[in-house]
Structures are given as C-alpha cells and as structure tokens.
Structure 1
C-alpha cells in the first residue's frame, strides 16, 4: 500500500464528528456559539471508535461526569440520532456535504501554504500502535506536515481510547487485508 499511495496525502474525513457534532453538542451544554468551541475528536468515525477529548476543549470549561458520559454517548450515536429523526428515511447527507467542503477547503489552504491549518482526520500515524488513527494534524504544502500526539488524557478518555483501539484494530485488519487482496 505504501508503494501506491503517499500516506502524507491519504486522509479520512472525520470532521462530521469533530466539527459538527462535538462542537455543537458541547456548545449546547456550555450555552456557547458552536463556532467558538473546538473539541478534538480522535480515534475513528463510528460508535465507540469516536473519542471526544472533552478535557481539551478550546474554551476553558469543565464538565460533570454525567455531562461527559452524555456528550460522549451523543457523539458516538449522532449518526443514529439523525436517521431516527428522519424516521429511517435518510441520513445526514447535507451535513456530510457541508463538512466535505470544509475539509477540502482546509486541505487546499494547507497545500497553498497557509499556516496553522489544524484538523482532526484519519491518517497513518504512530500516535498509537495502530497504523491508522484519527488524530489532530497540521496540514501543509505536502499534505500532513505534522501529526499531534493525544496530549494529556483523563481516566475516562484513557478507558475510551482502549475501547476505540480494540474496535479499530479489527476494522483495520479487515480493510488492510482487502487492500492487499486487491493489490494481488
């Protein structure tokens, strides 16, 4: 796989979780404008693999354990919430399109050389022992210029990280096996 793709340019969009859901849900609890809130969301893009780092929200704040559990559950199940709201007759398509546009815009700004373009995205990384993991990255002219570490995690986030890694490990094993079989 490394021979065919420049891994610095291979990124998965996880912004629906990071930009839209996490920021909106946290802003709602904090009574702030979602545009003022930045919640790093790492891990993956589905259910338990979504790990919001609520201890690192950009805006000084603190949450009760009950709020942390509520917010984490809501972020993990945000897609299901949308489908239920549409009575099973659709998905979060418009949200996805808007966020793909924002992601493409961030990538283009990075490629243009704009400084300090930081997003959470699914990338090849050494942040964990997994080969891919959604992480905060700084984008630049060559794609991903820097992958940031997770920073300090609280006990709840460390437990969530272990659950996310366990789930992602199985998914990645299947995806990488599929990629290898297509290369043959």
Structure 2
C-alpha cells in the first residue's frame, strides 16, 4: 500500500487532485500539505470518502514540522503548489514565485523522503523540474529515475482536440498521441503522425488545419485562462492529468503492471540514444517513459517524425535549453 502526499493541496489543482487520489485503492495514506490552514478542512472533507486512504492535513509552520509530518515515509509526492496563471501571463511569468516554492518543498523531500517518486506540476515545469534536481543533487539524493515533470495534460489535450478537429469529438479516448519536448507553448510537440490509431490523412494534407490544431494543443491553457476571465487557469483538467500520471506511476511501481508507457519531462542527459534522437545535448526533455518499480525503466527515442514535426522540434530547442538553465542558475547562483 502506498503513502502519498500532495503539496499545495488547498489550491485549485490540489483539491480536486487530492479527491481523485483518495479514490485510488492502492493508496493507504494521503497527506495533504499547504501554507494555508484550510488544508486541514480539505483533508477532513475528503476523509469522508469511503475508500481505504487515511487522509490528514498539514499546515506549513515556522519550525518545518508541518512539512516533515506530511512527507516522512512517503512513497510518492505530487506537487501542484504555486500561483496560477492570470490573463496575459505566461508560465515563465510565474517563475520568480513558483521557483522558490518548489525549491523549499524539494529541500523537504530531500530531508524527509529522499526515495519518493516526485511528480512536479508547478509551472513553469521546464524550469521547476531542473530546480528540484539541483536541490536533490546538493543534498546527495538525486535519482533521475524518480523525478518527473507532469506533461500529461498535453497528452490529454492532444487526444481531445484531435478528435474534435476530425469531427469525432466523442472518440477522444480512442487516440493515444505521444507529446515530446517541454510543457510550455512552442516547447510542446504533439507527435500527431504517431497517433494510435492513425489520424486521417486529410488532416495532414490540410496544412492550415494541422497548424491550427498544433497551436491549440500548445496554447490550450490560454483558452482556459481567457474563459475564466481572471478567475484562474486550468485546474480541473490539470488535476485529472496529474491523477492519471500518478496512477500510471503507482500501477507500474507498486502494483507490478508491465508495459506502462507515458510521456514525461525527465532527465535525459546521460542517455545518448535519446539526446541523439533529439539532435541536441540537453538535460531535460519530455519523451515516452516506460515506468516500473524503480520509476523510469526505459526512455523511448522520438522515432520517425514528420518534416513538420521536425520544424516544431527546432522551435522547441530554441527555447527549452534557456528555461532549463534558468532553473539551474536559480539554485546555483550565489545568494546576495
């Protein structure tokens, strides 16, 4: 049975994510942490759901005991903590606030549950995952097989929006489309040419329609931000995506399920096959990840990609390395 923690559990993503995790029968303990006291009420509320997980709420305290209680002995930690996007904001606009939040939480993980699988949702993922990695390296506990940036929402959007684009909106769950790169705008590369089952050739023949679909997948979060008109960003769909990826990790790592493959933003620097398929030496990249008891069991290369997808890859590689460096420097630069 699994002990799980949600850090940032009182927020717009954290609450529905915690509720969904409560429904997973593999979870024995569910610990909810936040900086606001309402997290204890959230935990109490969710604790009434008739599933096995015993739920508790923990609030940040000056002595760090709240975070310690939430993390000690945990097997999996999901981090949606941070501020949401508002209209006109990019994920990078969130960097200065969310970078510090992820740093502090990663320090707690390094101290209290260094062997846990860590799933980072906090944006900008392209930078926050490298931040966590640098914290773990400094603490001597970095295991690249156990650190994940959650990009599942891009996968979910690719299936949903592709089904809509071919006028089969009710068939979204039939399509499995790998998404590589990063988790922000032009760094998101949906490999529509590798969809299973295959998307109709007419979609690829209509260049304008194809480009519009890719843009919608890449900037799908903007639709939500604009529709909420200042009321927040994508929370419910992100909670669903975070839960789905957590379930995949749990099923492969703890339930013994084989052949679980899901795209995730992970450390790839030591895998020459992967960096060669990308065409650049890069530290982090979202690729299809085969999951297992140790976390990352195998990284799958990009495979055959279309000429158009190669253009998307080039655009991604113009932006992504800078985001990674930004995260690394946030930890490494001397503090004044």
TM-score band, normalised by shorter chain: over 0.9
Counterpart of 1:134 (choices 282, 286, 295) is 286
Asked whether the 8 Å contact 1:43–1:161 carries over to 2, the reply is yes
The worse-fitting range, judged by mean Cα deviation, of 156-165 and 30-39 is: 30-39
User: Partner residue of 1:46?
Assistant: 184
TM-score by length of 2: 0.52
User: Partner residue of 1:33?
Assistant: 171
User: Partner residue of 1:7?
Assistant: 144
Aligned length: 182
Q: Is 1:175 paired with 2:323? A: no
The Cα offsets for residues 109-136 of structure 1, whole Å up to 9 and x where unpaired, read as: 1102210111010001142321100111
Task: State how far apart, in whole Å, the 2-side matches of 1:181 and 1:103 are.
Answer: 32
User: Partner residue of 2:308?
Assistant: 156
Deviation >4 Å, runs of 4+: none
> Where in structure 2 are the equivalents of 1:95-110 lying within 5 Å?
95-110=237-252
TM-score by length of 1: 0.93
- For the residue of structure 1 that corresponds to 2:142, the secondary structure is coil
In the TM superposition, residue 180 of structure 1 has moved relative to its aligned partner by 2.6
User: Partner residue of 1:71?
Assistant: 213
In structure 2, the gaps of 5 or more residues are 1-133, 276-280
The Cα offsets for residues 79-128 of structure 1, whole Å up to 9 and x where unpaired, read as: 01111111232111111111111111101011022101110100011423
The worse-fitting range, judged by mean Cα deviation, of 119-128 and 49-58 is: 119-128
Asked whether the 8 Å contact 1:111–1:141 carries over to 2, the reply is yes
Task: State how far apart, in whole Å, the 2-side matches of 1:25 and 1:11 are.
Answer: 24
- For the residue of structure 1 that corresponds to 2:233, the secondary structure is coil
Counterpart of 2:159 (choices 1, 20, 23) is 23
- For the residue of structure 2 that corresponds to 1:67, the secondary structure is helix
- For the residue of structure 2 that corresponds to 1:16, the secondary structure is helix
Of structures 1 and 2, the larger Rg is shown by: 2
User: Partner residue of 1:91?
Assistant: 233
The Cα offsets for residues 43-78 of structure 1, whole Å up to 9 and x where unpaired, read as: 011100000111101112222322220111001110
Task: Report 1 or 2 for greater relative contact order, CA contacts < 8 Å, sequence distance ≥ 6.
Answer: 1
User: Partner residue of 2:253?
Assistant: 111
Asked whether the 8 Å contact 1:123–1:132 carries over to 2, the reply is yes
In structure 1, the gaps of 5 or more residues are none
